[in-house]
Amino acid sequence: MKTKKQYALCINNKDYEASLIPRKIYEIIPDERAEKDDFVRIVDESGEDYLFHNSHFVFLELPLEVEQALITA
């Protein structure tokens, strides 16, 4: 069974101005260990995946049509 992708909207890039863009949607890379410590793993603007505290994001439930548009963009 295919796992549904998860997304987060950046709402705060304080201390990460070069890595995160406010109001940009980022795809979450599943990381159970990070989640236990209130962190989320995303691919940032450098093209590499890093951990960021959850407080920098709002987590989104996207309609299938929007999710498909993000994947193909």
- Mention every residue, 6+ apart, whose C-beta is less than 8 A from residue 29: 41, 42, 43, 49
pLDDT for res 71: 76
Low-confidence ranges of the chain (pLDDT < 70): 1-3
pLDDT for res 49: 95
Q: Which helix (H) or strand (E) holds 39?
A: strand 39-43
pLDDT for res 1: 43
Prediction pTM value: 0.84
Domains, the chain, with CATH or none: 6-72 (2.30.30)
> How far is residue 37's CA from residue 18's CA, in Å, rounded to a whole number?
23
> How far is residue 53's CA from residue 35's CA, in Å, rounded to a whole number?
9
